[in-house]
Structure 1
Amino acid sequence: MGENTFTEPSFETELSILFLGETTCGKSSLIRAFLGENFLFKLPPSVGVDTRDRIMKLEEDSLVVKMRFLDAGCRATFQTVVNSYYREADCYVIVFDLQKRDTFEKVQNWLDSIVDKGGDISRKLFVIIGNKMDLESRVPLSEIEKFCDDCAQKPLMFLTSCKSGEKVEDAFHDIAKECIRKGLGRDANNVGKSTKEISPESDPNPNSSSSDGGCGC
C-alpha cells in the first residue's frame, strides 16, 4: 500500500442531506463551518451539486454516522442537475437569509419543488435554517415559527451564523439525531456510489455571480 493511500474512517450509517435555497443565503458556508473550514466572504456560487461529508459520533445513540452533504447550485439553469438528487436525499435543508425577507418568502417554493420531485417524502426529514443570525434579522422569529407550525411537512427550524459558526454544530447534530430517530439513512455495507460531484455541461452565463457578494450559495 502506497504512503499516500487514504483510508476513510469507518461508519455505520450514511445520511444524504440535500441543501436548497436562494443564492447567497450561505448554504456552502454553513457546510464549510460544520467542517471546520474558514469563512470566506467571496465564496463563489455552487455549480451543479458539490458533495462534502463529515463522519461524527452520536454519543447518545452510540452510533457513528457519515453525513453526506449535497450542496445544490441554485440558478435555474442547474435545476435539471439538481433534480436527480431529490429522490436520493434522506433530509432536505432549506436555507434562507435572515436579512433578506424575499429568501424567506421563497421557502414555500422550495418545499413545493421537493413535494413535486422527491417521490415518497413521507419518511424524509425537512429542515429550515435561517442563516446569518450574527446580523440584524428582518424576519421575526415568531413568523418563522408560525410558518413551520403551519407547514404540512412540520420541518425542524434552526437559526445559525455561517460566519461566526454560532449554532451550526448544534443544528447538524440535531439533524443527524432526528434522521436516525426516523430510521433514515443507509447501512455502511449498502452505501452505493450513485452520488458524485457533477456540473452542468454548459453555463450560459459562466461569469455571473452574486451582485451583493456575501457567502455564495
Structure 2
Amino acid sequence: MRFEPESLHGANAGLQVARGIMEGIKQEFPWISYGDLWTLGGVCAIQEMGGPKIPWRPGRIDGFASQATPDGRLPDGAQGAQHLRNIFYRMGFSDQEIVALSGAHALGRCHRDRSGFDGPWTFSPVTVSNEYFRLLLEEKWVWRKWDGPKQLQDKTTKTLMMLPSDYSLVEDKNFKKYVQVYAKDQDKWFEDFSKAISTLFELGVPRTQFVASEPWVMGGEE
C-alpha cells in the first residue's frame, strides 16, 4: 500500500492521512518494517480506544512496488453479502469471522471527499464497542435521499449511516445470527474479533518468518 497503483485504489482512499502520520514514527525508528509498524499501530489504537488486547508478533518483511495487488480485492461498501463472501472466503475466513471483522465499523466515519459515503456508524466513533451490531438490529434504517452514493441513515436522528455492505449483515440469515450474538455480548465479540484480526494481520506471512514463536499481548504477559 506504499506504492502506486495500490495506494490509489478506491478502497484505500484517505489512508494516506494515516500513512503520513505513521511515517513520522518510521523515521524515528527506521529499523521496524512498515508491515510491523502499521499492524502494531492498529493493535495499539484498538486497545487505547477501549477494545480488546490483540495478540501480535513482529517479523513482517516489506515488499516492493512490483508486488502491489490488483484493484478489486478489498471489500466494496456498495456491495452485498455475496460480495463479502467472495472477498473474505478467498482469504480463508468464515461467515462468523466476516461479521466479527465488520464490527470494526464501530470506529471512524466515512468522508465524502474520500469514499464518497458520508457519516459515522455509531454515536461514539472513537470507542471500540459492540454498538455497531446493536444499532444494526435496533435502529430503523432507511435509504438516505441525497446526491451521493446509495447508503442508509437511522430514521431517529438521521446522523448515523450504514453502507449497503453493513446492512447486508442483517439481511442475510447466516450473517444475522452472528450480529445477534455480538449485539448481546460484547465480550464474545471482543474475543472473536481479536482472533480474526490477528489472523488477518498475519495472513500470508510464513510462521517461521516471525521473530517470536508466540504472539505478544500488548500490556500483558508474553
TM-score by length of 1: 0.30
- Larger fraction in helix: 2
Which is bigger in relative contact order (C-alpha 8 A, separation at least 6)? 1
TM-score by length of 2: 0.29
- Larger fraction in strand: 1
